[in-house]
């Protein structure tokens, strides 16, 4: 897997407890310019731009992991939820977004502690707004783990210009993005009586202040988080119930039907229809000739006359033979002439047709 350098603000959801007191940090993309930030490399930006809408929709689900110690004792719970949401900006304009909500809570020295994260992302995985919250409840009279921890709630807002968001990856971005990363290796994870292969992704966050922090994520094929280990921590987060692994729907291409030549002789149904229609016509013709015997006599005379004369132009001979039977044919000349009129009817209307005759 290539090295992808993303700009990641120092906000995280971890299994380790926060310091005493309550701290709230708000991360918002404002219009003002902030301090110089490390730049993301081109390979990381191209990777973010290559993610399509169909791929991102496969990441919309929730999961819950149990936080356990190195001895297997339960310490708390980690919940991560990625879903569709609506974001309202400072101008009151609503837009579709990806809503990321993660929270963890557990006990440390019998004290309840935890942290939560709420982030709004665009469908290009650009962070729009992020809020983080850490808390620890100290019983009255009990010594705090950190005497210098603040006892009151603190708020902090950090702004980054809209034009400088290329490659910016807040922790709200890294949670759904981790569901789509490539595998670095495989290991079989057993959940109850079921086993499934999981690929391992290691994520390291480098900070200008302090030492780097690394996590190992064990993920199933559909992106469900099976196990998370923070390097250097005694505990880990592990799934307790095998989820229903989702598979990407493969859209099959529509079937292509080749056009086959129609051979009706080989088709039993068409051949049967042909024979049936042929018999119908033969019966109809025979019945007509029985009802009109003059038609049979007329055809017999024509054939006999044709065989006796044996003309070269059969069509003209037939026109001359059947011409006298046409009631609309004008009468022929009373005297013979070398200029014989055509036996065929003229398509042009005759002059004076339909008018008064000549005096």
Q: What is the mean pLDDT of the chain?
A: 74
Long-range contacts made by residues 328-337, C-beta under 8 angstroms, separation at least 24? none
Q: What confidence score (pLDDT) does residue 6 get?
A: 40
Q: Is 276 a residue whose pLDDT tops 90? A: yes
Q: Classify 140 as helix, strand or coil.
A: coil
State pLDDT tens for residues 217-236: 888 888 888 888 888 887 88
Q: Is 215 a residue whose pLDDT tops 70? A: yes
Q: Is 241 a residue whose pLDDT tops 90? A: no
Q: Is 11 a residue whose pLDDT tops 50? A: no
Q: What confidence score (pLDDT) does residue 257 get?
A: 83
Q: Is 278 a residue whose pLDDT tops 90? A: yes
Whole-angstrom distance, CA of residue 235 vs CA of residue 69: 4
Residue 38 — very low, low, confident or very high, per pLDDT cuts 50/70/90?
Answer: low
Residue 162 — very low, low, confident or very high, per pLDDT cuts 50/70/90?
Answer: very low
Q: Is 192 a residue whose pLDDT tops 70? A: yes
Which of 167-176, 281-290, 317-326 is predicted with the least confidence, judged by mean pLDDT?
A: 167-176
Structure tokens that stand for 196 in this block:
């499934």
Q: What confidence score (pLDDT) does residue 158 get?
A: 43
Q: Is 39 a residue whose pLDDT tops 70? A: no
- Which ranges in the chain belong to alpha helices (H)? 42-50, 53-57, 171-178, 268-291, 293-309, 314-322
- Which ranges in 14-67 belong to alpha helices (H)? 42-50, 53-57
Q: Which residue has the tokens 């099959």?
A: 252
State pLDDT tens for residues 42-62: 777 787 788 888 788 878 888
* Residue 90 near residue 74, CB atoms below 8 Å: no
Per cent of the chain over pLDDT 70 is 66
State pLDDT tens for residues 316-347: 888 888 887 777 776 666 666 666 666 666 65
Whole-angstrom distance, CA of residue 162 vs CA of residue 128: 9
State pLDDT tens for residues 193-202: 888 888 888 8
Q: What confidence score (pLDDT) does residue 197 get?
A: 87
Mean pLDDT of 80-100: 89
Q: What confidence score (pLDDT) does residue 304 get?
A: 93
Q: Is 184 a residue whose pLDDT tops 90? A: no
Q: Is 157 a residue whose pLDDT tops 80? A: no
Q: Is 154 a residue whose pLDDT tops 60? A: no
Query: Which of 32-46, 79-93, 276-290 is the most confident on average?
Result: 276-290
Handedness of CA 318, 321, 323, 326 (dihedral sign): negative
Residue 176 — very low, low, confident or very high, per pLDDT cuts 50/70/90?
Answer: low
Q: What confidence score (pLDDT) does residue 22 get?
A: 42
């Amino acid at each position: 897997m290539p090295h992808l350098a993303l700009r990641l603000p120092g906000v995280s959801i971890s299994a380790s407890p926060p310091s005493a007191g309550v701290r709230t940090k708000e991360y918002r993309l404002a219009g003002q310019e902030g301090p110089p930030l490390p730049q993301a490399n081109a390979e990381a930006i191209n990777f973010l731009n290559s993610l399509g809408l169909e791929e991102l929709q496969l990441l919309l689900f929730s999961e819950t992991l149990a936080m356990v110690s190195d001895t297997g004792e339960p310490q708390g719970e980690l919940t991560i939820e990625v879903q569709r949401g609506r974001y309202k900006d400072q101008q009151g304009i609503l837009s579709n977004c990806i809503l990321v909500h993660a929270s963890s809570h557990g006990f440390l020295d019998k004290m309840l502690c935890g942290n939560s994260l709420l982030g709004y992302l665009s469908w290009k995985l650009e962070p729009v707004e992020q809020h983080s919250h850490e808390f620890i409840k100290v019983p009255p009279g009990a010594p705090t783990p950190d005497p210098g921890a603040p006892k009151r709630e603190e708020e902090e807002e950090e702004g980054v210009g809209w034009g400088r968001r290329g490659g910016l990856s807040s922790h709200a971005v890294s949670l759904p993005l981790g569901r789509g990363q490539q595998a670095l290796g495989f290991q079989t994870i057993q959940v109850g009586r079921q086993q499934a292969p999981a690929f391992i992704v290691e994520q390291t966050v480098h900070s200008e202040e302090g030492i780097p922090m690394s996590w190992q994520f064990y993920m199933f094929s559909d992106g469900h988080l099976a196990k998370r280990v923070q390097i250097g921590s005694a505990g880990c987060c592990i799934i307790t119930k095998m989820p229903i692994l989702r598979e990407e729907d493969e859209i099959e291409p529509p079937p292509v039907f080749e056009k086959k030549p129609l051979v009706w002789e080989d088709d039993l149904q068409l051949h049967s229809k042909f024979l049936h229609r042929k018999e119908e016509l033969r019966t109809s013709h025979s019945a007509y000739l029985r009802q009109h015997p003059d038609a049979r006599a007329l055809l017999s005379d024509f054939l006999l006359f044709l065989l006796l004369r044996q003309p070269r132009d059969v069509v003209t001979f037939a026109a001359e033979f059947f011409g006298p039977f046409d009631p609309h044919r004008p009468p022929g000349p009373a005297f013979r002439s070398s200029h014989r009129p055509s036996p065929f009817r003229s398509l042009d209307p005759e002059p004076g047709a339909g008018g008064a005759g000549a005096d």
